[in-house]
Amino acid sequence: MKSSLLRIIPFLFCVLMVRGANADRPNILFLAVDDLRPEFGAYGADYIKSPNLDRIAKAGITFNRAYCQQAVCSPTRSSLMTGTRPDTTKVWDLETHFRTALPDVVTLGQHFKDNGYFVQGMGKIYHGNFDDAPTWSVPWQSPKAPGYGLPENLALNKPAISADPNAANNKKDGKKKKQPTPKNSRGPAWEGADVPDNTFQDGKVAELAVATLKEISKKPDPFFLAVGFAKPHLPFVAPKKYYDLYDPSKIQLATNKFRSHDAPDYAIQSGGELRSYHGIPEGSIPDDLARQLKHGYFAAISYMDAQLGKVLDELERSGLAKNTIIILWGDHGWKLGEHDAWCKHSNCENDTNVALLLSVPGMKHAGSRTNGIVEFVDIYPTLAELAGLALPTHLEGTSFKPLLEQPNQSWKQAAFSQYPRSKGGKPIMGYSMRTDRYRFTAWVDRNDSTKVDSVELYDHQSDPQENQNLAQQPDKKTLVDQLTAQWRGGWQMAKPIMKP
């Protein structure tokens, strides 16, 4: 008996030591929102009803100048979750899994799991039906729900993106083979049916998150809970009460309903994603339809916000809030008629500038804002540092923890985004650099980046909407040369200068 106790005592001591160390580590509530551009209350848009988004901002910090690495779902989420850039993940489309190029990469969730956290994911974290089992402690879940509340709209919704199930699991190329979605093949682009919140996926995800918080509050280990909300992604479906929050006659339309002057014609595309929905015409969207679409987008934000509120309420009710870091991010920006275009899929400011809120218990600058330039690849190292975890060597971002301590300090010299295109059947890539004052984009041959097809230059001091490309103006040649050299220096040369 004595020898048995002697063997057990060291084991129990180790367990208690680990639990004691874990007890001091903060929990992470990791909130992803699909297609949420930085236009709601926390960003000064008080005409959008977003009390729960604003609640996070009031307790934390709002990043005015956060940027994604590629403005479309799978590339941006793969980049954020791996802490690497699209040219490293090799994910530039919606069909490739990052494990194809990075089979052994340690993802953000995986890193926390490997360091004693209970890590669970639900809703849209990775793109679509993509998942990554090593990221989670338990299998990821995504509740099923109808896309519309009205039977007639469900009947119209016959999307023709048919993935080959064999290709989805193809280890050779990691791609889901898809067919293009025909125009007008989906249901309507908006709906405001008089139905309960939990009719749709976000309502069900909120219920699952609340139930999960009740369970994990009983466990000794710290948690990393990733909750992905689908709205305001198209279609703009929300229960009627959220539509009723807005008077459509007061909704303002984009003032720059034209393409950027002197920009290459492929820089911004009209928004083919929107045209897959029933009743959306080709060409410029008429003002009355544009106003209805914006009404739907705003209502979808408010619906998502209400579901977010249920999760935040449970976090507080359970007593977990006092030791939980909350981060909320929109996966990329979105155009609502700017440049006579809709959706994302470009390098412009509307698409690459993202919503990012971060609340840390006890932070001394709660409710503040920062203009420091940050990128989505910076989220991984930031959360790891805040939790006291060592940083993996593969990361291509920089922790912005110092900005929480001094929000007004200067930070990165630039943020980098990219978007692929095809010109005359040849693949090109637009590499975009956002500095404090300028957006510079070089469109280059994807097989030889020394071959530049065209250049864009926008001065945000005089042209914050990016309406006039200055790159071809003779008096801007020196500036273009300077920015070209800075761009070629890459993200490694744009890191913040740390003060001693």
SS3 of 262-282: the string is: CCCCCCCCCCHHHHCEECCCC
How many CB atoms lie under 10 A from the CB of residue 452?
A: 14
Helix axes 287-317, 51-59, angle to 10 degrees: 50
| Single-letter code of the amino acid located at 170 | N
Q: Strand 374-375 to strand 66-67: parallel, antiparallel, or no bridges (unpaired)?
A: parallel
List Cβ neighbours of 488 (8 Å cut-off, separation of 6 or more). Answer: none
Q: Strand 236-237 to strand 190-191: parallel, antiparallel, or no bridges (unpaired)?
A: parallel
Is residue 73 annotated as a catalytic residue, yes or no? yes
Instruction: For tokens 């008080």, name the residue.
Output: 46
| Single-letter code of the amino acid located at 134 | P
List Cβ neighbours of 275 (8 Å cut-off, separation of 6 or more). Answer: 183, 184, 282
Q: What's the DSSP call for residue 370?
A: E
Is residue 127 annotated as a catalytic residue, yes or no? yes
Comparing CA positions, the residue from 74, 69, 123, 129 lying closest to residue 96 is: 74
Q: Which residues of 295-326 are buried (b: 16+ CB within 10 A; e: fewer)?
A: bbbbbbbbbbbbbbbbbbbbbeeeebbeebbb
Backbone torsions φ then ψ of 154, nearest 5 degrees: -60, -35
- Length, in residues, of the chain: 500
What are the residues facing 444 on neighbouring strands?
429, 452
| Single-letter code of the amino acid located at 44 | G
Instruction: For tokens 């005089």, name the residue.
Output: 462
Q: Which of 97, 111, 127, 339 is catalytic?
A: 127
Q: Are 234 and 35 in contact (CB under 8 A)?
A: yes
Would you state the structure tokens that stand for residue 248, as one six-digit string?
């459509």
Q: Which of 68, 73, 343, 348 is catalytic?
A: 73
Q: Are 293 and 336 in contact (CB under 8 A)?
A: yes
Catalytic site residues? 73, 127
